[in-house]
Chains A and B, each alone.
Chain A
């Protein structure tokens, strides 16, 4: 992988904006054997503990996008939300099976 994606950055590769990146060194992702208290609390189902942060959207801002209707050739205005506000390293969305 390219190493210039370190950190959590805002990308403007589309009109919506995307928070993208991997973690900075201080917020890396790791997994290791769970503590005894975790084992007991999970009835020995969670033998592994994962500690991590993910790149998340911290604020949204509005952008105006001009659209032309097909029938009458008039220009209309559509309001969209975008992630252009800011990004931050935060809580990962979990997978529940």
Chain B
């Protein structure tokens, strides 16, 4: 719940998201719950290495569940099932490169 005003909302919330699921021989639109928001971030200089202290938090999944859909019109012999994560809860947190593709705009 973003309180209704996306222009002033600060925080991290579950938001409906539609994406094109593609795999060789298959494709289809999927609407699911993902995360969106604005998180507090800052940097400040410090006297010891690494000389800059960063507090960088991004809006990302905190709790997920897996879902599976059957994609339409798949080529013969192609597994039509597509697995994807559904956001149950979103939070501002560090972007973990162990589980997440961390990209910048």
A residues near B (Cβ < 8 Å) are 1-3, 5-6, 8, 11, 14, 16-23, 25, 27-36, 38, 42, 45-57, 60, 80-83, 87, 90-97
Main secondary structure on B side of the interface with A: strand
Q: A6-B10, A83-B44 are in contact. Are A23 and B100 (CB under 8 A)?
A: no
Contacts of B21 in A (CB 8 A): 33, 36
B-side interface residues, number (CB < 8 Å)? 54
Q: How far is the CA of A42 from the CA of B19 in the complex (A)?
A: 19
A-B contact pairs, 16 of them (CB 8 A): A2-B10, A5-B10, A6-B38, A17-B45, A20-B41, A28-B37, A31-B60, A31-B87, A45-B98, A48-B101, A49-B103, A50-B60, A50-B100, A54-B43, A92-B58, A92-B104
Are A34 and B97 neighbours in the complex by a CB distance under 8 Å? no
Chain B residues, Cβ within 8 Å of A90:
104
- Chain A residues lying within 8 Å of B94, measured Cβ to Cβ, are 94-95
Q: Report the 3 A-B pairs with minimum CB-CB distance, sorted nearest first.
A: A95-B94, A18-B44, A20-B42
**Residues of B close to A1: CB separation below 8 A:** 10-11, 40
Nearest B residue to A83 via CB reads B45
Closest to A56 in B: B43
Given the known interface contacts A3-B8, A17-B45, A22-B39, the answer about A49 and B100 at a Cβ–Cβ threshold of 8 Å is yes
